[in-house]
Structure 1
């Protein structure tokens, strides 16, 4: 395993890849989830990612499932002290806001932020989380209110580091500027959708925000901000014939990138998934990939990317395809 420091030296030491727990307890059963978590820990993985809403869209689920399962695993393995645990607030369904998700997302008001953390701590069976993300933007709440509420959790010692997910770069920068101006802890991690293929142009805005050149440029200028990427392997679409490309990536511009990706994988004796992960981790602005896996075999394939090094020519070919 390789490691880095989250948030430019001011955060916790994390494994260079993060294990995403989104499907654990819903579409991935407990036995399989525990096996994946055990293998990740055995390999030296320390960074786990969940949310207070995973996976509420699965029929019969509430959003409690992933945090509850992680809590059971942490207790049964005595792993809390050697795990960097991230969870999120902002996207959980709130029945008081209506029956349909995500229109009824709880948002980022101060009372919600405080209450949501207490719920997460209870489900996780811990008294502190290492990284707490504002899961999605909430333009209906003054930014200052959210910034101060999140900072208060750090000051109270129940949160270690703050992060933002699915935020436009200008909004992220404004929130960080607001926190700095008040002498408060601000966002030191940003989690966005990020993979090798680029989305088609002109897509309408949605809750999931893509990593773009503006964000990477901002992160390059602010080394106290760590980019984290989810959706990195597109749910298996790079390698599985039964998984078509997501619509946002299924466009003519992807053809050349997929061809070069396959060529580089063959040159390296690696899988295309491993090349994608190595490309993310080894770029000018290194990204921490969130691994979304549903079996130990898939996890082992992803972990092998940690030792894959792309040479400058290969990277240039991938970048310019």
Structure 2
């Protein structure tokens, strides 16, 4: 089977395909820019340009070698696809020397009858290496000389800010926007959920019933870091690193911390067996209202 290639038609079709692909890349880059809000707006554009350059060079190389193969044909007729591919493969992918000419590149090295040929590196490898050098120069100029693009640290900070904003929006939509300033006691269902969390994560240090162990007793009237629901929420959320208590804000959601704090408040006065001796300050619940009108449910005494 013989295939008659018209190089003008090939180049025209390739350019049309390239322009269509470039438009697609530009559209994708625009959509990526809108969704990422300038976090990495130029990333897809640079990938598209680099891929386009490589595609054009590769296509032009194939066409050139095809034309040479045709011109070298002794009969003047288009060569077969198999023969054309053999020429392209030997010139581009392997640059292999014919077996009958291997003596010309034979080195003097001889290891137990095994001899070495001085073959060239595959052209595709060399072209890829040259391309990495070009891209490295472009990267250096863009990010470290002209500083027209974000550094990895800047991209990280931008993405973290976006993630924080998305998390905040999610919490607002899911009614999970409670913190140590706004937390209130959970209902019975919430306290039951807090009991499950306590039984899974808190009992090693505070005992199965809150009687204390490594950590303090949670059922008496004494507290090391405040006995209001707000104080308990804050202690769970941020932890007490110098006392060995970890921060749970990355493990539990605000609503889960609320439920856990509410359960801890609910077990006051239960007097479990083997309760640990009191630690901290005596805490007394009150029903007073402060000057701002906000409810104040606690006082501290030594």
Could you tell me the TM-score, scaled by structure 1's length? Answer: 0.17
Structure of larger gyration radius: 2
Please report the TM-score for the alignment, with normalisation by the length of structure 2.
0.18
Higher relative contact order at CA 8 Å, sep ≥6: structure 1 or structure 2? 1
